Structure 1
Amino acid sequence: MQTDSSFTFVLFGGTGDLSMRKILPALYEAHRAGMLAPGGKIFAVARHIEGREQYLQWVNEHVRAHVSNAQFTEDAWRTFLDRIEFVAIDLGKAEDFVLLRDAVADLPGTRVFYLATGPSLFVPICHALASVGLNQNSRIVLEKPLGYDLRSSNAINDAVGEIFAEEQIYRIDHYLGKEPVQNLLALRFGNALFEPLWRRDWVESIQITIAEELGVEARGDFYDNTGALRDMVQNHLLQLLSIVAMEPPHSMDSDSVRDEKLRVLRALKPIDPRDISRVAVRGQYHAGVIRGASVPAYANESGVRPESTTETFVAVKAEIENWRWAGVPFFLRTGKRLADRIAEIVVNFRPVPHSALGSSALRPGANRLVIRLQPNETIRLYCLAKKPGEGMNLSSVHLDLAFDQFFREGQMEAYQRLLLDVINGRLALFVRRDEQEAAWRWVEPILNEWAASGTKPKPYAAGTWGPAAASAMLAQHDTCWLEEEN
């Protein structure tokens, strides 16, 4: 489906890593697939590039490597580059924005301003856009992190909200654009099979994991002042939790979906500071081996303070105080330099109350649903079946929904879906301000207690699944992380 109308897409931070790896490749694929209106233009904004030709050379060198060969054609690439214009602006000089205004003034359709910059530049850019009248008939996209805590997040939202109305602001969380997350909504609300089971009576526990093999790479300076709780839990993991636990919305319009997510976030049981050592695990990776290669400790990474106590791993138990989920633990986990790169949601159903078929049917996790978000996007339902042969011996089997095998058309990458939604004015997959505030309120007691107590992160070797304390936390509930079962 093609975008609804012509558009002007303005990319601040046009030479940055996010623009090269994600945003421009996603726009290219939308262009190649015929999803962008023919008249739509892309304006890149940067300071250290001299002009359009030099910028296109930069794109050829840095973006092409992030476009798969299966998606690349010379004709599509050439016509995609034809869409791109360039404006050299010093973001610290509001007067430079006159150049941008003059470049886009006569172009038809909606304007999208994508701020792929550090959060310290969000407010100055917004003020500069308003000073030249570019905050009208426009949408603005804000990348995470939006603030350092609730207070700083509110300060940014207040300042941006003075210039752009809430319905103009798109706070992006790319996990909400992933195909399996969309299919989770379809699975829950499009099929009668799961709804009766999707509650405390039949669900024993839920795990949500986002694990990375990579370390901090070139982001040491940023990451050392952020940490895993702010970088991943406050946004990605809590957004996934709200999707899993939300009530059926009356429709899929933006506010109906986001109202239900907000109810979940507001129903999260507040964490008592006295319980934080029991329900939250903080870790930091030390030197280790990943896929046969030695990797340094976090404290030895570029840009990281040698004495740093920033966490690179977090596991936390959440509870939702409502009738559907009361008493069901949600275990959230994220970390860098772990044993594998995965993102998944594991729904563990309760075992049968009595089995005439042996103990296999009574073990935890005999029935479960695993929604894999990365690297391969699948939904897998596990159940028990009889092994062939004599006797009633049970074995775990699974039913697969592997999207790349079932659907002939290619999957849409998360950023591609979200960018098309911005251009078309669809807000359902973007985070509303009240959602963001509720998430910050829930994580702040953990941050404050860690700071006040001087809690140091527990060490774990790179290439493992994190500190042993994360496993001990689940053992208190007679369960374990999915990979530990084998």
Structure 2
Amino acid sequence: MNNDKHIYTIFGASGDLTRRKLIPALYSLYVQNLLPDKFIILGAARSPLSNEDFRNIMKESILNSNEIHDKSSAEEFLKHLYYIGLQYDNPNDYIQLKEYLEKLRSKFDIPGNTIFYLSTPPSLYKVIPVHLAAVGLNETDDGWKRLIIEKPFGFDLQSAIELKDLLLKDWKEEQIYRIDHYLGKETVQNVLVTRFSNGIFEPLWNRNYIHHIEVTAAENIGIENRGGYYDSIGALRDMIQNHLLQVVGLISMEPPSSLEPLSIRNEILKVFQSLRPLRREEVAKYAVRGQYISSVINNETVKGYREEKNIKPDSKTETFAAIKFYIDNWRWGGVPFYIRTGKRLPTRVTEVVIHFKPTPHFLFTRKNIQEACNKLILRIQPDEGMLLEIGIKTPGAGFEVQNIDLDFRYSELAHQRIPGAYERLLHDTIRGDNTLFARTGEVIEAWKFLTPILEEWSNNPNVPLYGYPAGTWGPKEADNLFDDENQTWHFPCRNLTNSNLYCEL
């Protein structure tokens, strides 16, 4: 039980994210008795809704959620929901918001503890926090105040710095929570436990034993109805700048001195500060971009990116991005990291693959270096779990070697419920635990690292944009990022285990 009574205010409360993720996550916390005895969820948006209208909409989202099994407490939970209509750019509306918050606090005996969740377009990140501060809703005299921001955290380095300066003018760093739902996934957090609680891994987790590391985030869908948004963003900004670099930070950080949020976040920041800078003239060697083109998948014709709704016919926005980079510190010096992400790939999967170095010489026959390396696969989604690939002797005469899998899947923990990503992160915002939230320094360092790639892709018309048929693993040129011509990417199946027997796409 958390006894910090508070009001959870959601801007953009009539939007899709609130219906699909935020309210179901808060309801799940309520069912598990993880919310205080007294709390209010206040929705705020432009739509002219009454309290009853808002409750009915959210009731439908709870009842229709596949992630919620116990829906018996929905009616009691909905009594905690209230709504206020406002125009985000109208200063007077924030005066009314403050008065309404004070009214709710007085009625339900709740102190000034307040969370402001910005489930809004990024353009409003520069608007809402300023107006909140103008009426004193950032002040902590009567209780804590927290500001939750969804990605993207800026469009480039310059806009990220401007947003940082604007927010830190009125809000303290410890009040700002930059939410990245990837970091709320159980398997991502398990990276820390895998590394630091098992004596067999940490001694090997360095340049002496690891050959290279891959991080893949693949989606089998296209851009759906997000054409206008996606065409201005692209894969590098949408996935690599936030989600995947944060995962890299957890994989490669040094052991923290404690599990305190500041200690963990300090180590992640050190990783970002150690990323080897790229020069624009090196971008062609270290980064590949692609865009999906029309193809036939399961006897159905799939549109190419430029044929999608709200996409410019000559668009050069990448739907696939792959980069190679190095972390220049004592642990990782010389170990290449590879990241790729893309739309319209064969399957939806996010995973980390640790490729260990081969044995010093081939005592037993192996076909190639790829086959001779042990692999540790950390599957983030779907079929969440871990898999260690090792070699064993094939039964019979001689010493033929075959690879087998030692695996664990979270689905095997049938007696334990796996919380959703937003459920974990929203609970952390209530508890004041910012371990899994991006800090200002991390965001700025990530943009610094990616800026040469973004500038080269944007300003150099000679940089190739490779087409790849929808339903394939991206442009073949992404293989050129590897130093060894016998190396290639690990091609995952939707199923983590038994992928040598069948591959579900």
Give the drift of 1:130: 1.4
Instruction: Name the CA shift for 1:365/1:435 in 2 (closer, same or farther; >3 Å).
Output: farther
Instruction: State the Cα deviation string for residues 7-46 of structure 1 (Å, max 9, x = none).
Output: 2111111121222222122112112222111212111111
CA distance in 1 between partners of 2:317 and 2:454 (Å):
11
Give the drift of 1:359: 2.5
5 Å matches for 1:232-251? 232-251=239-258
Instruction: Name the CA shift for 1:294/1:79 in 2 (closer, same or farther; >3 Å).
Output: farther
Which residue matches 2:503? none
Say whether residues 1:253 and 2:260 are aligned partners.
Answer: yes
5 Å matches for 1:45-56? 45-56=44-55
Give the drift of 1:103: 2.2
Structure 2: which amino acid aligns with 1:144?
Answer: K
Q: Is residue 246–residue 261 contact of structure 1 (8 Å, CA) maintained in 2?
A: yes
CA distance in 2 between partners of 1:74 and 1:180 (Å):
26
Which residue matches 1:317? 324
SS for the counterpart of 2:84 is strand
Give the drift of 1:4: 4.2
Which residue matches 2:495? none
Say whether residues 1:441 and 2:448 are aligned partners.
Answer: yes
Instruction: State the Cα deviation string for residues 434-475 of structure 1 (Å, max 9, x = none).
Output: 111100000000011112212352111111111111123236
Which residue matches 2:133? 130
Give the drift of 1:62: 4.3
* Counterpart pick for 1:272 among 279, 300, 306: 279
Structure 1: which amino acid aligns with 2:466?
Answer: K
Say whether residues 1:156 and 2:163 are aligned partners.
Answer: yes
5 Å matches for 1:242-391? 242-359=249-366, 363-364=370-371, 366-391=373-398
Give the drift of 1:396: 1.0
Instruction: Name the CA shift for 1:290/1:256 in 2 (closer, same or farther; >3 Å).
Output: farther
Runs of at least 4 residues off by over 6 Å: none
Give the drift of 1:86: 0.8
Structure 2: which amino acid aligns with 1:313?
Answer: F
Which residue matches 1:471? 479
Instruction: Name the CA shift for 1:25/1:74 in 2 (closer, same or farther; >3 Å).
Output: closer
Structure 2: which amino acid aligns with 1:473?
Answer: L
CA distance in 1 between partners of 2:436 and 2:312 (Å):
36
Single out whichever of 85-94 and 310-319 deviates more from structure 2.
85-94
Structure 1: which amino acid aligns with 2:329?
Answer: N
Listed as ranges, the gaps of 5+ residues in structure 2 are: 493-498, 501-505
Give the drift of 1:98: 2.2
Structure 2: which amino acid aligns with 1:118?
Answer: P
SS for the counterpart of 1:66 is coil
Instruction: Name the CA shift for 1:456/1:355 in 2 (closer, same or farther; >3 Å).
Output: closer
CA distance in 2 between partners of 1:310 and 1:359 (Å):
41
Give the drift of 1:378: 0.5
Which residue matches 1:92? 89
Which residue matches 2:25? 26
Say whether residues 1:8 and 2:7 are aligned partners.
Answer: yes
Give the drift of 1:135: 0.9
Single out whichever of 204-213 and 80-89 deviates more from structure 2.
80-89
Which residue matches 1:459? 467
CA distance in 1 between partners of 2:372 and 2:348 (Å):
22
Q: Is residue 348–residue 367 contact of structure 1 (8 Å, CA) maintained in 2?
A: yes
SS for the counterpart of 1:142 is strand
SS for the counterpart of 2:64 is helix
CA distance in 1 between partners of 2:302 and 2:19 (Å):
26
Q: Is residue 300–residue 306 contact of structure 1 (8 Å, CA) maintained in 2?
A: yes
Instruction: Name the CA shift for 1:349/1:319 in 2 (closer, same or farther; >3 Å).
Output: same
Q: Is residue 11–residue 118 contact of structure 2 (8 Å, CA) maintained in 1?
A: yes
SS for the counterpart of 1:383 is strand
Instruction: State the Cα deviation string for residues 315-369 of structure 1 (Å, max 9, x = none).
Output: 0001111111111110000011111000000000011112433336965453110
Instruction: Name the CA shift for 1:182/1:189 in 2 (closer, same or farther; >3 Å).
Output: same
Say whether residues 1:214 and 2:229 are aligned partners.
Answer: no
Say whether residues 1:118 and 2:121 are aligned partners.
Answer: yes
* Counterpart pick for 2:422 among 412, 415, 419: 415
CA distance in 2 between partners of 1:43 and 1:477 (Å):
57
Instruction: State the Cα deviation string for residues 278-305 of structure 1 (Å, max 9, x = none).
Output: 2100111111234554321111222221
Which residue matches 1:173? 180
Give the drift of 1:128: 1.4
CA distance in 2 between partners of 1:406 and 1:51 (Å):
42
Report the number of matched residues.
483
CA distance in 2 between partners of 1:28 and 1:67 (Å):
13
CA distance in 2 between partners of 1:250 and 1:257 (Å):
8
Which residue matches 2:111? 108
Structure 1: which amino acid aligns with 2:262?
Answer: D
Listed as ranges, the gaps of 5+ residues in structure 1 are: none
SS for the counterpart of 1:11 is strand
Quick one: percent identity of the two aligned structures?
39
Which residue matches 1:40? 39
CA distance in 2 between partners of 1:448 and 1:57 (Å):
47
CA distance in 2 between partners of 1:24 and 1:37 (Å):
16
Single out whichever of 237-246 and 452-461 deviates more from structure 2.
452-461
CA distance in 1 between partners of 2:257 and 2:58 (Å):
44
SS for the counterpart of 1:410 is coil
Say whether residues 1:392 and 2:399 are aligned partners.
Answer: yes
CA distance in 1 between partners of 2:369 and 2:321 (Å):
31
* Counterpart pick for 1:73 among 64, 67, 70: 70
CA distance in 2 between partners of 1:434 and 1:290 (Å):
43
CA distance in 1 between partners of 2:392 and 2:191 (Å):
25
CA distance in 2 between partners of 1:321 and 1:399 (Å):
32
